Amino acid sequence: MKSFGPISHEKYTGTFDDNALKHLLKRTLLGIKIDDFKKFSGKTLDQVIAVIFKESAAPSPPINHYETATKDTTGVALGQTWVNSAYGSGTINSRRKQSLKSWWIQQMHFQETTIHEKMNLFWHNHFATEINVYDDARMGFKYLQTLRKYALGNFKDFTKAITLEPAMLVYLNGTQNTKTAPDENYARELQELFTLGKGPNSKYTEDDVKNAAKILTGYRITREPINSYFQADRHDATDKIFSSFYGNKVIKGHTGDFATNELDELLNMIFEKEEVSLYIVRRLYIFFFYYEITPEIESKFIVPLAKIFRDNKFEILPVLKVMFSSQHFFDVELRGCTIKSPIEHLIGTTKFLEPNWPVYQTYINEYYLLANDLASVADRGQQVLGDPPSVAGWPAYYQTPVFHEIWINASTFPERTKFTDTYISKGYKRNSQSLLFDPIDFAKKLKSPSDPIKLIDELVFWLFEIPISNNLKTELKTDILLAGQASDYYWTELWNDSQLKPNNNNINMVTSRLKSLLSYFLALPEYQLS
């Protein structure tokens, strides 16, 4: 069991230095650039919070990038979006699903300095669907739009919206739920996974699930365009009687269009339970803070945050602002204590090392394909974007007792180092275009690239939450940067010559050594921690 200092949700009063700033940015964003960090350095906690918790503008939708390889038979031209087009069966839908995943990776990589993208990922894990189950890229995009719309908004409104989301209606059999053949799938997950959880105080019954399922009968979807609607003659219009957990609540049955009011009554009944706020705050804590919630954390952090959630009528943003401004969040024991998810590892690396992308307008297909290559890295790390393994999301966020440790095993760790080695050494290539990392351009962003000691110290600051030993730093300096030479000036002179008197020899030597140093750092176990 991890030992923390005094647990408190009260505002942090300690020194908000660069280490505290780095911790805040790494936990709230999916990666940071050095230039972005510099913009925040020296600002107050309140000033940084104001920027981080600003909603992002809705991005332009994914497009047809695949035209040169696969003709879009629905009439969508190269560079135009397919999200409102007719369904493209077979290969076209497969290309669009690839387009959607690639587009999502692009949004993460080029994210604004806000928590929005990471919250989208959190909600994708919470309100999980699998695109390979509902199998329609257009439906997947609409689902992602809903996640983005409500990511920092009202959780109760969010829950209603996701209940009626076409992707969810298909995924959890909502469209098959009728008065003559009730399907309990979504009614169960609405309570068990989405709102109340499975804790000892979530005492809804099987009859509660059955009656909730009756309320949810009659909802259907259209595919041209993608939408949901209510069909009254498929709805169970009988009264629904709930258990003592819900105060023996009776939701009167309705006919016609008035029957849709039953859903609002159901959600009102569920959200009257204190456990909803507690459960969601716990989920946020496990995702952003740490996997273990002790009795002290529950009483001194979760409970007060849950009250703030309820007092704000289930608005998500006030809770997040208190969480990430809290004394507890800045406890040094919370730094470097969780294993990065594959997405965090991927985007954190690409964001920090800033590759040179091909020109978007000229090489649309290659641009999308390269982003998809990055998505495949996360796939091999067992975090398939768009396709969590089940409605419960990824096991690393709920599977006791190991939680985040699930991300690292004999298969996934080598895949992580393979990615970082490839990314640093040669990049990724599609047709004539490459996604390349330039180590010299990167090093120029550092404060003292000509000083081998300061260069290594700064990289250690950026890359690790747990410092590495001085012996290792000295060894790396001597073996890699100095190539066995005794004097630090050897690297200083080499670097300065590469800038002032560049030639193929000194450029190649500097490039090779920087790549070797970064490859070594990114393969360390410490780099896997956040």
Helix axes 18-28, 316-324, angle to 10 degrees: 150
User: Are 173 and 185 a contacting pair, CB within 8 Å?
Assistant: yes
Q: Are residues 29 and 134 in the same domain?
A: no
What count of Cα atoms within 13 Å lies in the side-chain half-sphere of residue 192? 16
Q: Which domain holds residue 31?
A: 14-52
C-alpha–C-alpha distance, residues 344 and 350, integer Å: 10
Ordered per-residue pLDDT tens for the chain, 530 residues = 678 889 999 999 999 999 999 999 999 999 999 999 999 999 999 999 999 999 888 999 999 999 988 899 999 999 999 999 999 989 999 999 999 999 999 999 999 999 999 999 999 999 999 999 999 999 999 999 999 999 999 999 999 999 999 999 999 999 999 999 999 999 999 999 999 999 999 999 999 999 999 999 999 999 999 999 999 999 999 999 999 999 999 999 999 989 999 999 999 999 999 999 999 999 999 999 999 999 999 999 999 999 999 999 999 999 999 999 999 999 999 999 999 999 999 999 999 999 999 999 899 999 999 999 999 999 999 999 999 999 999 999 999 999 999 999 999 999 999 999 999 999 999 999 999 999 999 999 999 999 999 999 999 999 999 989 999 999 999 999 999 999 999 999 999 999 999 999 999 999 999 999 999 999 999 999 99
Pick from 483, 429, 460, 376: nearest CA to 19: 460
Q: Is residue 297 part of a domain?
A: no
Q: Are residues 28 and 122 in the same domain?
A: no
Count of CB atoms situated within 10 Å of the CB of 423: 23
C-alpha–C-alpha distance, residues 246 and 268, integer Å: 11
Q: Is residue 183 part of a domain?
A: yes
Q: Is residue 167 part of a domain?
A: yes
Q: Is residue 140 part of a domain?
A: yes
The residue type found at 511 is: T
Q: Is residue 452 part of a domain?
A: yes
Q: Are residues 36 and 126 in the same domain?
A: no
Q: Is residue 291 part of a domain?
A: no
Write out the two tokens for 440: 């010299």
**pTM > 0.75:** yes
Number of domains the chain contains:
3
Say which residues have a Cβ less than 8 Å from residue 504's Cβ, sequence separation at least 6. none
- Three-state DSSP state, 172: coil
Q: Is residue 243 part of a domain?
A: yes
Q: Are residues 128 and 47 in the same domain?
A: no
Q: Are residues 31 and 141 in the same domain?
A: no
Say which residues have a Cβ less than 8 Å from residue 373's Cβ, sequence separation at least 6. 428, 430, 435
Last residue of a domain, one of 232, 248, 274: 274
CA angle 251–158–383, rounded 5-degree value: 125
- Three-state DSSP state, 39: helix
